[in-house]
Chains A and B, each alone.
Chain A
Amino acid sequence: MLKKRDIDRIAKAVARATLDSSAGVDSTSTIDSQGDPALKITIVLTPKSSESIQGKDVLKTLDQLQQRLQEKGEDRFPIVEFETKGETPVGD
């Protein structure tokens, strides 16, 4: 199980490579829908990049992130959330 610092470093490197520009990353431990330990990784995007990112870029990010984490011995599944810098979640 990797430390948060290492997870963030890997996520940042993957996001930079696959999404071109990301403003930052954050990670926390969570539980997935199966009840297994998982990671919630938030990738913060710049306003321009969130408009230009294609679906295939997202797929690459998901796959690369999981592979890199696995290579370092991290088996928790990364659940990735994207947000644009300064964006607030939508509440009813």
Chain B
Amino acid sequence: MSSLRQRARRQLAINPQHLLDQASILTEGSGRKQPRATDLRRAISAAYYAVFHAIASAAADSVVPANKRATEQYSRVYRSVNHGPLRSLCDRVTGKNSDFGSEIREFAAAVVELQEKRHCADYDPLFLPRESDTRLIIRAAHSAISQFQDAPAEERTRFLSLLLFPPKRAE
């Protein structure tokens, strides 16, 4: 295997920072006086997906060793993270009976917010994006990723284990 391919396999397949960079570039309007609505819609979507892929990769890293990133098992864990269960977990984390600290709570609140905005941006024909809202949501996505990484290890592990292995409901 070439060293280039080996290096590529050690890196994240979908780099959250690159998605955030892309989102920021889209808000600049590529030479126009103002970005198009489509640019802002795509920027919002990219900001959400930056957070989503940061979590999917943290989840996969939590159960598969780093030197196995190029394996089928890593890919399977990564792809097991879905939007619906992530939303449900974040709703619980931000709910009244949550026992998570402020870092994970704030992160979870941002995930739900970003997911809602992503839905509007991707599917709602009546949604009219604003530049300032888009810029702030990109900054929030950036901070959400940092905040998750800086959260206490025990809470991070608990969050990821609940995401990958949700508690069974009583039948």
Contacts and interface: CB of A to CB of B under 8 A. Distances in A.
B is bound to A: yes
Interface string B101-129: 01001110110110111011000000011
Contacts of B147: 56, 59
Nearest to A89: B128
SS of B interface (majority): helix
Contacts, number: 94
B115 A87 contact: no
B113 A62 contact: yes
Contact of A81 (B34, B106, B119, B133): B133
Contacts of B113: 62, 79-80
Given A34-B87, A50-B136, A81 B105 contact: no
Nearest to A44: B132
Of listed B102, B110, B116, residue having the most chain A CB within 10 A: B116
B94 to A, nearest CB: 6
A59 B148 CA distance: 12
Interface string A57-92: 011101100100010000001011111100111111
Given A89-B128, A90-B40, A63 B105 contact: yes
Interface in A25-56: 32-34, 38, 45, 50, 53-56
Interface size class of A (residues with CB under 8 A): 20 to 34
Contact of A59 (B36, B95, B131, B140): B140
A-side interface mostly: mixed
A55 B129 CA distance: 18
Contacts of B144: 55, 59
Nearest to B87: A34
Interface in B75-90: 87
Contacts of B129: 89-90
5 contacts: A54-B143, A56-B106, A62-B106, A79-B113, A87-B131
Interface of B: 34-38, 40, 87, 91, 94-96, 102, 105-107, 109-110, 112-113, 115-117, 119-120, 128-133, 135-137, 139-144, 147
Given A55-B141, A87-B132, A90-B128, 18 more contacts: A33-B120, A45-B132, A50-B136, A55-B139, A55-B142, A58-B110, A59-B109, A59-B110, A59-B140, A63-B105, A70-B95, A79-B116, A80-B113, A82-B132, A83-B133, A90-B131, A91-B128, A92-B37
